[in-house]
């Protein structure tokens, strides 16, 4: 099964110059925990991801307020998936990168969708309950101390 069959199409995006408050409002208004950050809204070329965790850990915990820019808080060079990738491929990306959401990219890294761990859990044909449990466990495993 391809991820294009059940990804969220045309997700809400923001630009690096947006303020943390704007990203948080987008998350609230769209009931999501991650927003792809794009070069500009015309080309929608992926340059980063901002998550609710980024807002808390890289923002609030570091003393940055709602006027911090998304650029200051986002993860850069996020891994993406192709719309034609199989579920197993995106599952492996989530486990390897320890992420719960993967942007889906078309030509020129243009954001065309997003696939979340929850999408795999909701889509009966995407992964078995056992497989979803394995994904959740692998993503949630604490990193060893180095």
Condensed to tens digits (0 to 9), the pLDDT of residues 51-97 reads 999 999 999 999 999 999 999 999 999 999 999 999 889 989 998 99
The C-alpha atoms of residue 133 and residue 146 are separated, in whole angstroms, by 27
145 part of a folded domain: no
**Would residue 10 count as lying in a domain?**
yes
Of 73, 22, 15, whose CA–CA distance to 47 is shortest? 15
Q: Are 106 and 60 in contact (CB under 8 A)?
A: no
Structure tokens, 16: 């690096």
Question: What domain count does the chain have?
Answer: 1
Phi, psi of 132 (to 5 degrees): -60, -40
Q: Is residue 31 in some structural domain?
A: yes
Evaluate whether residue 108 is within a structural domain: yes
Quick check: is 34 in a domain?
yes
Q: Is residue 36 part of a domain?
A: yes
Average pLDDT over residues 120-125: 67
Distance CA 68, CA 19 (A): 6
Whether 118 is covered by a domain: the verdict is yes
Residue 100 lies in a domain: yes
CATH number for position 86: 3.10.580.10
List the domain range (segments joined by +) for residue 108: 3-140
Q: Tell me the pTM.
A: 0.85
Which structure tokens are listed for 36? Answer: 């792809």
So what's the pLDDT on residue 122? 72
């Amino acid at each position: 099964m391809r991820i294009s069959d059940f990804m969220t199409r045309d997700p809400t995006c923001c630009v690096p110059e947006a303020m943390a408050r704007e990203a948080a409002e987008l998350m609230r208004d769209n009931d999501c925990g991650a927003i792809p950050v794009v070069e500009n809204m015309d080309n929608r070329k992926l340059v980063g991801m901002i998550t609710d965790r980024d807002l808390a850990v890289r923002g609030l915990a570091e003393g940055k307020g709602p006027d911090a820019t998304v650029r200051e808080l986002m993860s850069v060079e996020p891994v993406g998936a192709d719309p034609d990738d199989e579920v197993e491929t995106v599952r492996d990306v989530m486990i390897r990168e320890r992420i719960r959401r993967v942007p889906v990219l078309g030509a020129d890294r243009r954001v065309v969708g997003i696939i979340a761990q929850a999408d795999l859990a909701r889509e009966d044909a995407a992964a078995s309950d056992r497989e979803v449990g394995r994904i959740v466990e692998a993503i949630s495993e604490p990193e060893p101390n180095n």
